[in-house]
Chains A and B, each alone.
Chain A
Amino acid sequence: MELFIIFISAALVNNFVLAYFLGICPFVGVSNKLSSAISMGMATTFVMVLTAIVSWLLYNLILIPYSLDFLQIPSFILVIAALVQFVEMVIKRVSQPLYRALGIFLPLITTNCAILGLALFGSMREYSFAENVVFGVGAGAGFTLALIIMAGIREELDLADVPKPFRGAPITLIVAGILALAFMGFAGMI
């Protein structure tokens, strides 16, 4: 039950993009086409789950026992960078089609604050291992959902007559604001 609440909270109620503003850069940058939004969402979710696993192990098995928690930020960011590099290599070896679909998004993920945010939130809230993994899955699902909804809206928005100074980023942010309002409807579910 507790795990289910964590999932719903991360995916809907406290959506990483719309409530915590994590991962705004790819959200504004990649959300103009539905197909790339799906790929980006999937790649991010994948890295998020891996980060949740690795950062938990790193934090609870190394940093805390040796009271090195002041190294948390540098070690997390290095682990994430290494992880992304590793995932890229593995995907390249294992499946060429998958690499072509996700490959170009992977380097972007290192600087996606949603990933580091996930690792930091997880350690801050003192989640157990299972909780942290579920948190990672939920956050990834929420990120993908927000990205896909946004991409769907933006494909329609291209046909709309938006005042010239507001085209691009400004209107995207305004639409995101309206989406954030809509997502507030999920509050109270937990």
Chain B
Amino acid sequence: MKKQVSLSKEYLKGVWENNPILIQLLGLCPTLAVTVSAINGLAMGLAATFVLVMSSLLISSIRKIIPNQIRIASFIVIIATFVTVVDLVMKAKFPDLSKALGPFIPLIVVNCVILGRQEAFASKNNPGRAFLDAVGMGTGFTIALLVLGGIREIIGSRTFFGLQVLPDQYEPWLIMILPAGAFLTLGLLLGISNMYTDRKKRTEHESIIAHYKRVGREDIAEQLEVK
């Protein structure tokens, strides 16, 4: 069954095909809230990735001794523990960043991406695969946050990672760093990613029809075209 999936694919699926934000629409709260700048997005993404990887590793290693009835409770306790570790380390070592992200670090606990991966993957696979899956999902999550934060920072405050990239003559669009800008940017980004996926599907579909036409099965081609 699942064994056939190659290891590299286990990693890559989270990055694009099953991107937690753009495709699965999970974990939107932190995505929208912290992405006023690229650095915030990156920090949030890395914090969530750390929690995801550590929880996945631990849960997949002890998956056989956790009784089924209490698995969700155990997952939540384990996730909450790692989140607290991240929160404390950030407060101690990166106070500025911790201030900027505020309560959204503790809120990683209820990020559906993390609990979702434990339930759907880590509790059913060996630690190696769970690790790759978690790193992949984390990468996808971080990239989406970084892109969103980057777009909003460049347009909204004409800087990228704090460095000015647009000339002074450009008047920053304040809306981009307001809550409204977060909703609008993510909405447009989702729409564009849908458009891309749709087009890819359509070209695949057309190439299948062309193939049947080539081999002389007009009937099947016609049927597919109606679809």
Closest-CB distance, A86 to chain B (whole angstroms): 14
Instruction: Choose from A18, A73, A164, A166 the contact partner of B179 (Cβ within 8 Å).
Output: A18
User: Complex Cα distance A83/B81, Å?
Assistant: 20
Closest-CB distance, A100 to chain B (whole angstroms): 24
Chain A interface, >50% SS class: helix
Instruction: Choose from A28, A124, A174 the contact partner of B184 (Cβ within 8 Å).
Output: A174
Is B33 in contact with A20, judged by CB distance below 8 angstroms? yes
Closest-CB distance, A141 to chain B (whole angstroms): 19
Residues of chain B contacted by A181 (CB below 8 angstroms): 175, 178, 180
User: Complex Cα distance A81/B112, Å?
Assistant: 15
Q: Is B73 part of the binding interface, using a Cβ–Cβ cutoff of 8 Å? A: yes
Most buried by A among B77, B190, B192: B190
Which one of A36-44, A88-96, A111-119 contacts B? A111-119
Is A73 in contact with B182, judged by CB distance below 8 angstroms? no
Q: Is B39 part of the binding interface, using a Cβ–Cβ cutoff of 8 Å? A: no
User: Complex Cα distance A173/B186, Å?
Assistant: 7
Q: Is B187 part of the binding interface, using a Cβ–Cβ cutoff of 8 Å? A: yes
- Summed over the interface, the residue pairs from A and B with CB atoms below 8 Å come to a total of 116
User: Complex Cα distance A81/B80, Å?
Assistant: 13
Is A81 in contact with B76, judged by CB distance below 8 angstroms? yes
Residues of chain A contacted by B186 (CB below 8 angstroms): 173
Closest-CB distance, B175 to chain A (whole angstroms): 7
User: Complex Cα distance A81/B115, Å?
Assistant: 14
Closest-CB distance, A180 to chain B (whole angstroms): 4
**A121-B103, A177-B180 as given contacts; A70 in contact with B88, CB under 8 Å:** yes
Is A25 in contact with B77, judged by CB distance below 8 angstroms? no
Which one of B24-32, B56-64, B151-159, B163-171 contacts A? B24-32
Q: Is B110 part of the binding interface, using a Cβ–Cβ cutoff of 8 Å? A: yes
Closest-CB distance, A155 to chain B (whole angstroms): 19
Is B178 in contact with A180, judged by CB distance below 8 angstroms? yes
Closest-CB distance, A144 to chain B (whole angstroms): 18
Residues of chain B contacted by A77 (CB below 8 angstroms): 76, 80, 109-110
Is B187 in contact with A113, judged by CB distance below 8 angstroms? no
Residues of chain A contacted by B28 (CB below 8 angstroms): 21, 24-25, 28
- With an 8 Å Cβ cutoff, the count of chain B residues facing the other chain is 41
For chain A residues 120-179, which have a beta carbon within 8 Å of chain B? 120-121, 124, 163-166, 169-174, 176-178
User: Complex Cα distance A121/B30, Å?
Assistant: 15
Q: Is B188 part of the binding interface, using a Cβ–Cβ cutoff of 8 Å? A: yes
Q: Is B172 part of the binding interface, using a Cβ–Cβ cutoff of 8 Å? A: no
Q: Is B195 part of the binding interface, using a Cβ–Cβ cutoff of 8 Å? A: yes
Is A169 in contact with B25, judged by CB distance below 8 angstroms? yes
Residues of chain A contacted by B112 (CB below 8 angstroms): 25, 111
Residues of chain B contacted by A25 (CB below 8 angstroms): 26, 28-29, 112
User: Complex Cα distance A177/B179, Å?
Assistant: 7
Q: Is B127 part of the binding interface, using a Cβ–Cβ cutoff of 8 Å? A: no
Residues of chain A contacted by B88 (CB below 8 angstroms): 70
- Encode B99-122 as 1/0 by CB contact (under 8 A) with A: 000010011011110010000000
- Encode B130-168 as 1/0 by CB contact (under 8 A) with A: 000000000000000000000000000000000000000
Closest-CB distance, A56 to chain B (whole angstroms): 16
Is B187 in contact with A174, judged by CB distance below 8 angstroms? yes
Listed in ascending order, the chain B residues whose CB lies under 8 Å from chain A are 25-26, 28-30, 32-33, 73, 76-77, 80-81, 83-84, 87-88, 103, 106-107, 109-112, 115, 175, 178-184, 186-188, 190-192, 194-195, 198
> Which 4 pairs of residues, A with B, have the shortest CB-CB distance?
A177-B183, A173-B187, A165-B194, A174-B187
